[in-house]
A and B are shown apart, each in its own frame.
Chain A
Amino acid sequence: MASSVLTSEYAGATRKRGPRALQGLPFVLPYLPLLIVFGIAPTIYALDLAFTDVGGGWVGFHNFVRTYDDFRFIPAFKHVLAYTSVWLGALMVFVVGLALLLHGRANRVSATFRFLFYMPGALAGSAAVLVWLFMLDPSVSPGSFLLHHVLGADIFAQSIAPGNLPFIFAMIAFWTGAGGWIVVMYGALNTIPHDLEEAARIDGAGPIAIALRLKLPLIRKWIAYMVILSFATGTQLFVEPQIVQTASFGLVPDTWSANQLAYQLAFRYADFNGAAAIAVDLLVIGLAAAVLIVTRGGLFRAED
């Protein structure tokens, strides 16, 4: 019905007012219920839960204080902080570095490497953790030499010593996630006009100088996107510690990460308000990081 009205109006294509004000809306309509029900409403619901108690009464910041005082809260957030730092550091250094290394001349070699890096991405989630349970067990792993010399581990219990955990989880996440981001960065590097590169080469710049001084700044936006999205997924860490907890017979606690603590609060103690408070904590941290990166990284500056 809307389209027939619009059709009759299009006799003169120069009109830009009236029914055209709703142009595009019908296509967005099927998506809106999903956005509201599974995006916006839960966010608001989470905020509501975080500031109310079981009966629904307003309690201000009580849930936040209460969960902060929980003896598992600070360790969980410390763990997540350590994990996210290592994870983002590895992403920024290795993903960008590898993408730059791949963005050279030999395209078929480059494509082969990209595929090899990308392969583990198919094993995200619990499958990847299961593979690494074997990789971290010195009695089975092909890397037992490395486990012994790098982690000082001769038995599985030593591989997953508490101090090693942030690095181990970051390594698993890197193993599955890096390939995808390398492909994205590589694609981003491909948007750099060739003449810029040629000009720099003619000026006498070596490959390292070109990579660091020319290419790197031009993909700054993409690096920022990667960091923002990875920060958000990083703070949500759940699968890896949860599975390693079972496989280690309890050597890793079931509230190692903040997300695990939220889960336990919700489903073991039926404390949805406390769980929501932790979720809101994570949300605030994620948004704060996003804002920081956007403003410091000059993400929306015009000249790019």
Chain B
Amino acid sequence: MRIRVVGLGARLVILLTFAVFFVAPVLWLLLAPTKSDKALITNSPFSFGDFHHVALAWKHLDAFSSHIFRRWIGNTLFYALSATAITLVAGVPAGYGLAIGRFPGRRLVLSMTLVVMIVPAAALVLPIFLELNAVHLIGSSLSVILPFSFFPFGVYLAYLYYATALPPSLLDAARVDGCGELQTFLRVALPLAKPIVALVFFFSFVADWNNFFLPYVVLADSNQYPITVGLWDLLSATPSFNPSVGGGGQSVNIFKPELALATLIAVVPVAIVFLFSQRALVRGLVGGAVKE
């Protein structure tokens, strides 16, 4: 009995230590905009300042480069939602088709999807850049949205899901009733799709929101940046983090609290999607085969 308690205690200590590791920086980030730049150094890291500083930090952040921060957030929402829409429309039916299909080349498509998942983005982004350049898409939003909407992980998830969660009997029943392929899909696969749609939406949206390398490469105009690249741009354009040979630049007014606020705002949409997808995530992650 004593060993059980000690074991339980040890387990709790380990879990708590890791919890602190994961949570402390987030907590710091939440509290940082409430303090002034000086207070961040002098006061305790977890002290609460006041809301006045948050408002001030927002004012400075918004004033940076004529409200470009708002544009960055808007861009990211636009890119992520558009690309995820395409991913869902193209990818979920594809997963279904691969799961129940019998066409020649089915295995090929499946293995290509798997292989491409392993190919490093480094290998793909540069040729994609050249491809997009050849069709004069560089500089348009499509240069970001179209590559984003190719999401093999989502297709593979949908394939796994339909392969395991779709009872063949349901399919046969529909066919016996005289349903064509499209009707079978609408009658059988679509109603079952909710968990997988939620899952793919989550992964695709988060991946698109957090993607840095592709937009960094293909977008030359900082007005089109998504927030990930925007944050880097903010960092590099502010003297407190990238001091100018030439001194000064204090009029830009971006210091630690502003940067912390920018980071915080950048993660809010994803955090919201996180919270809403929590349930679908845990249940749906193992291909619908989790037995509660």
Note whether A and B form a binding pair: yes
Contact check, A279 vs B93: say whether CB atoms are below 8 A apart: no
Classify chain A: how many residues form its interface, as a range: 35 or more
Task: Tell me whether B206 and A187 are in contact (CB under 8 A).
Answer: no
Q: Is A27 touching B96 in the complex (CB atoms < 8 A)?
A: yes
Which residue in B45, B46, B118, B210 is a CB contact (below 8 Å) of A290?
B118
Which of B45, B130, B217, B231 is A130 in contact with, Cβ under 8 Å?
B231
Cα distance A46–B123 when bound, in Å? 6
Interface string of B155-190 (1 = CB under 8 A from A): 100000000000000001001101111110100000
- Contacting A at CB under 8 A, from B21-46, are 21-26, 28-29, 32, 40-41, 45-46
**A24 close to B98 (CB less than 8 A):** yes
Is residue A276 within 8 Å, beta carbon to beta carbon, of the partner chain? yes
Complex alpha-carbon distance, A30 and B95, angstroms:
11
Provide the B279-292 mask, 1 if CB < 8 A to any CB of A, else 0.
00110011001111
A23 near B19: Cβ-Cβ < 8 Å:
no
Question: Is A161 at the interface (CB under 8 A from chain B)?
Answer: no
- The reply to whether A262 and B232 contact each other, CB–CB distance below 8 Å, is no
Residues A113 and B290 in contact in the complex (CB < 8 Å), given A126-B212, A135-B28: no
The CA-CA distance from A287 to B127 in the complex, in Å, is 19
0 or 1 for each of A285-299: is its CB under 8 Å from B? (1 = yes): 011001000000000
Q: Is the CB of A247 within 8 A of B267?
A: no
Q: Is the interface of A mostly helix, strand, loop or mixed?
A: helix
| B217 and A142 form a contact (CB under 8 A) | no
User: Across the interface, which residues of B come within 8 angstroms of A126, CB to CB?
Assistant: 212, 228-229, 231-232
Give per-residue flags for A37-64: 1 if the beta carbon is below 8 A from chain B beta carbons, else 0.
1111111011001000000000000000
A179 at the binding interface (Cβ < 8 Å) = yes
Complex contact B217–A140 (CB within 8 A): no
The 8 A CB mask of A8-52 against B (1 = contact, 0 = none) is 001101000000111111111011101101111111011001000
B109 adjacent to A32 (CB under 8 Å)? yes
Query: Is residue B152 within 8 Å, beta carbon to beta carbon, of the partner chain?
Result: yes
A25 to B185, CA, bound (A): 12
B278 contacts which chain A residues (CB < 8 A)? 115
Is A252 interfacial (CB 8 A cutoff)?
Answer: no
A131–B263 CB distance below 8 A: yes
Residues A49 and B127 in contact, CB atoms below 8 Å apart? yes
Give Cα A32 to B263, complex, Å: 37
Pick the residue among A37, A183, A229 that contacts B281 (CB under 8 A): A183
| Contact A124 B206, CB 8 Å, known A38-B146, A191-B286, A239-B212 | yes
A191 contacts B263, CB within 8 Å? no
Cβ–Cβ contact A101 & B14, under 8 A: yes
Q: Considering the complex, give the chain B residue whose CB is closest to the CB of A94.
A: B18
Q: Which chain A residues border B55 with CB–CB below 8 Å?
A: none
A262 to B292, CA, bound (A): 47
State the Cβ distance, B26 to closest chain A Cβ, in Å. Answer: 6
Interface: B117 (CB within 8 A): yes
In the bound complex, CA of A191 to CA of B104 (Å)? 33
Question: Which residue from chain A places its CB closest to the CB of B181 in the assembled complex?
Answer: A3
Q: How far is the CA of A278 from the CA of B101 in the complex (A)?
A: 38
Contact assessment for B100 and A23 in the assembled complex, using a CB-CB cutoff below 8 Å: yes
Contact partners of B130 in chain A: CB under 8 A: 45, 272
| B contact residues around A282 at 8 Å (CB) | 120, 122-123
Is the Cβ of B116 less than 8 Å from the Cβ of A43? yes
Which A residues are in CB contact (< 8 Å) with B24? 142-143
- Which of B58-66, B235-243, B246-254 contacts the other chain? B235-243
| Interfacial chain B residues near A247, Cβ < 8 Å | 235, 241-242
Q: Is the CB of B127 within 8 A of A23?
A: no
Is B19 a contact partner of A116 (Cβ separation < 8 A)?
yes
A279–B217 CB distance below 8 A: no
Show 8 residue pairs from A and B whose CB-CB distance is below 8 angstroms, ordered by the A residue.
A26-B181, A43-B127, A120-B26, A127-B210, A179-B22, A229-B118, A232-B119, A282-B123
Taking Cβ atoms with an 8 Å cutoff, the residues of A that contact B are 2-4, 6-7, 10-11, 13, 20-28, 30-32, 34-35, 37-43, 45-46, 49, 94, 98, 101-102, 104, 113-127, 130-135, 139-143, 175, 178-179, 183-184, 186-188, 190-191, 193, 207, 228-229, 232, 235-236, 238-239, 242-243, 246-247, 249, 258-259, 262-263, 266-267, 272, 275-276, 278-280, 282-283, 286-287, 290
7 nearest CB pairs, A to B = A24-B101, A27-B97, A3-B180, A31-B94, A142-B45, A279-B123, A45-B127
Given contacts A7-B179, A23-B181, 20 further A-B contacts (CB under 8 A): A22-B103, A25-B103, A27-B185, A30-B93, A43-B127, A98-B14, A119-B22, A122-B267, A122-B271, A127-B266, A127-B267, A130-B231, A130-B235, A134-B25, A140-B40, A193-B291, A236-B122, A263-B217, A267-B217, A290-B118
